Amino acid sequence: MPFTTTVITGATSGIGKETALALAKKDHAVYMLVRDMVKGESVKNELIELSRNKNIYVIYCDLADLRTVRDAALVLKSSLMSVNVLINNAGGIFSDYEKSQQGYEKTFAVNHLGHFLLVQHLLPLLERGQARIINVSSEAHRMGKPRLKDLEWKNSTYSAYAAYAAAKLYNIFFTRSLAVKYGPKGITAFALHPGLVSTNFGEGLTGANKTIMWLMRPFMTTPEEGAQTTIYLATAPRIDAKSGKYFKNMKVSNTSSKATDDAARNTLWDISIEMAELYL
């Protein structure tokens, strides 16, 4: 029986690592896209030992550098005939305003734009694999506002949490667009909230932002618990009719009203194409 081929970002720690392990145990061939190759190889060896599945691979990819996203996709296209599951799991929150390698605000680049480019490059593989695309969003999207006229924060004071909330809203926009645009080609897309999970997420925060994260720790769940909805979406049968939906606790959940704004969703798509154009 052929392997299910799964590509996942952010799999060296937290819910991404738990997701990769669970899918490896289910005999998926797992391709981990990582920005720290030393850590990636160490995690790969750990997952092989725990899962007894040798079909785990590591490819360099830094979502804050579109060149590496393109290069990682080229490696996958040269190695694979199809991809069955793509899990856009990696994310980040940054205390201070930072720019990506291409000069874009880093929260937007890491949480949305890098994954957007990855999907564009992998479309032939995704179509052949009748793939599920799974985007890890967050309930933080409810606080997010579409900042499509000021993605670079030129007209307002940068806020780590506002930037992150907006990016998580964009994850849902992206999911809905994928379902609409590529559903006729057999590709499905799902967004999810993993829960408030105790991981190293936000470890670079400082000052008041770090304090807020610390105060939330007692209410957080384990990475294994946080991975369950992602695992469900990667493996559950007969969920194609729910493509484009947002999930929480392995069930469809309502989003904020802002997340249903089709005009903003289409604008985000157009902006993303323009930003990624040199690397398409």
**Catalytic residue positions, numbered:** 164
Token pair 């499905």 in the structure block, residue: 188
Question: How far is Cα 142 from Cα 87, in angstroms, rounded to an integer?
Answer: 22
Question: 232: which 2 tokens?
Answer: 């469900």
Sign of CA pseudo-dihedral 63, 69, 72, 76: positive
End-to-end Cα distance, the chain: 34
Question: 87: which 2 tokens?
Answer: 């899990």
**Can you name the residues that pair with 193 across neighbouring β-strands?**
248
77 contacts 125 by C-beta, under 8 angstroms: yes
213-245 core/surface letters (b: 16 or more CB in 10 A; e: else): beeeeeebeebeebbbbbbbbbbeeebeebbbb
Distance of CA 272 to the CA centre of its chain: 15
